[in-house]
Copies of this chain bind each other. A is one copy, B any other.
Amino acid sequence: MRIGIVAPSTPILPGTAERATAIAAACVPEAELVFHPQCFLSHRHFAGEDEVRADAFVEMANDPGFDALWVARGGYGSCRIAEDVVARLEPAARGKAYLGYSDAGYVLAGLYRAGFERVAHGPMPGDLRRDGGEAAVARALSWLVRDDPSALEPNLGSEPAAAFNITVFSQLLGTPVEPDLAGHVLMLEDVSEHMYRTDRSLFHITGNARVRKVAGIRLGRCTEVPENDPDFGAGEEEVFRYWCGRSGIPYLGRADIGHDAANKVVPFGRSYSSSRT
């Protein structure tokens, strides 16, 4: 099993790759991690220029020598290349698993929209900078390599699911990478956003007619919320209950996802219950 790692948003340091490789050697010795050199590039805000990031993703995705593509880290930047990347993928890219979260959501969305069957929201090598990040990376690898059910978000059920960062999901609505999530349980999480911004994003998300076709929304963790001045007076659960109620979308409770070491894996669609081929 060979896992290719690319960085469609921002770069990681070589030390992060070394630590992830050591965790893989200990936890899933049957897997080999291959970090594309692009992961370590830096161009302004990004891990290399748009074309360089897109080329690296397409190169590894189209290479039959890899079984999975793992996004190195979030940040910002994958929206600039997601549509182009998906358009350039060949049949060899279809069978692979794709894992990431946060800003990687634009690429995951585009892949899922295009019918890719093993797309999942979950931890990335960049999570090693968090307290307890080793557990998150080990969890991601146990899903990628062994389809370990203990890695999965515990509320996954008979309905298909998808998971996104709140801000990322808001910003992909109506764009060429928006997936059809009718009938899906939509899990949402965020980090470092003022509560008024989360409230505004929920207005936008639940105000979109296509989103109202989801089976329901689950709320992941909203962490590192900056102080609101004046106090917003409501937490994220009250905000979610309000907008779900107003838009007629069932609010289904919490989800075990977030920008933290406990972040569980959410495979998009029904693939989480299928066995690996």
Contact = CB atoms under 8 A, between A and B. Distances in A.
Interface in A198-238: 199-201, 203-204, 207-210, 228, 230-234
Nearest to A79: B203
Nearest to A10: B230
Interface of A: 42-45, 76, 79-80, 170-177, 196, 199-201, 203-204, 207-210, 228, 230-234
A204 B174 contact: yes
Given A79-B203, A196-B76, A200-B79, A234 B171 contact: no
A191 to B, nearest CB: 14
A174 B169 CA distance: 13
Contacts of A174: 173-174, 204, 207-210
A175 B196 contact: no
Q: How many copies does the complex hold?
A: 2
A168 to B, nearest CB: 9
B45 A204 contact: no
B45 A232 contact: yes
Nearest to A200: B171
B173 A45 contact: no
Nearest to A77: B196
